[in-house]
Amino acid sequence: MVSAAIALAFIPFLVTLLIRYRHYVVLLYRAVLVGWLQDRLTGVPREQRAFQYVLAHAIPGDPRHVLRTFDQWCRRCEHLSNVGPRKGRILERLLQERAPLAVLELGTYCGYATVLLAQGLPLGARLYTVELDPRHAAVAEKVIRLAGFGEDTVELIVGPSEEVIPQLKEKHGLLKAEFVFMDHWKRCYLRDLQLLEAHDLLAEGATVLADNVIFPGAPHFLQYAKTCGKYRCKVHRTSLEYFRAIPDGIAELTYGGPR
């Protein structure tokens, strides 16, 4: 009797929580549950399903159309953790302003941001993108080539960033990156920024962008960027990809050189 009363007393609390965090519940449902169920039902991984859709609907050689088709799939079918169109516009604007000749992306996933960045590169520039998971890399490779970018413009490197970064100079010929987009696991941001510094891979004045610094967040990375004295740092506040109601942000760091 008493335990039933206690349980009943919790219901308003649970309902309040559910209402308050409804957008996160929807995210959990769309990003985790639906994907997991579809994986089981179809036997085909989500990224591969997305690629099949893109292949069937996108115009080959038209990067903007490839990106729009991805967005369509994410809105109509399932969630993918692409940078998405809203944050993508921030990326595009900054890329256009800086016109870098050497760009590094950490965390390729299906190649969405890779295509977005590649289409905004100045003539003769090169983009290096690093992906840990070979299954994602296989999808990204097809997406990048479908969008019309060859190996002379985009080099996809498969491996964990902590192993790839120390080899970028000797093995891949990237002397200094002028523009870095970090969008891999958030807990790796700080370590990899310090690895880039240690291997002298950041050009003076380089722009380092880091996605998802508000959701799910990268507090140690942000604290370091703001306090180490090597960067000017600002956060572009926006929303999570494909979820306008969930606040998120991209950190923009400008490297002032070693101190």
Ligand X SMILES: C[S@@+](CC[C@H](N)C(=O)[O-])C[C@H]1O[C@@H](n2cnc3c(N)ncnc32)[C@H](O)[C@@H]1O
Return the closest-CA partner of residue 177 out of 115, 161, 137, 186.
Answer: 161
| 241 noted as active-site residue | yes
Annotated catalytic residue, options 183, 192, 248, 252? 183
> What is the closest distance, in whole angstroms, from the C-beta atom of residue 46 to ligand X in the complex?
12
Distance CA 213, CA 144 (A): 26
Distance CA 192, CA 221 (A): 10
CB nearer to ligand X: pick between 126 and 184: 184
HEC states along 14-44?
HHHHHHHCHHHHHHHHHHHHHHHHHHHHHCC
Q: Distance of alpha carbon 37 from its chain centroid, rounded?
A: 24
CB nearer to ligand X: pick between 126 and 136: 136
CB nearer to ligand X: pick between 142 and 256: 142
Annotated catalytic residue, options 212, 230, 248, 252? 212
> What is the closest distance, in whole angstroms, from the C-beta atom of residue 229 to ligand X in the complex?
26
Annotated catalytic residue, options 211, 230, 248, 252? 211
Residue count (the chain):
259
> What is the closest distance, in whole angstroms, from the C-beta atom of residue 74 to ligand X in the complex?
11
| 211 noted as active-site residue | yes
> What is the closest distance, in whole angstroms, from the C-beta atom of residue 4 to ligand X in the complex?
44
Phi-psi region of 105 (alpha: psi -120 to 50; beta: other; left: phi over 0): beta
- Omega before 219 within 30 of 0, i.e. cis: no
CB nearer to ligand X: pick between 141 and 183: 183
| 71 noted as active-site residue | no
> What is the closest distance, in whole angstroms, from the C-beta atom of residue 96 to ligand X in the complex?
18
Alpha carbon separation from 127 to 49, 88, 157, 176 (Å, rounded): 26, 16, 11, 12
Which residues are near ligand X by CB under 6 A?
81-83, 106-107, 109-110, 112-113, 130-133, 136, 160-161, 183-185, 188
CB nearer to ligand X: pick between 81 and 254: 81
Residues identified as active-site: 183, 186, 211-212, 241
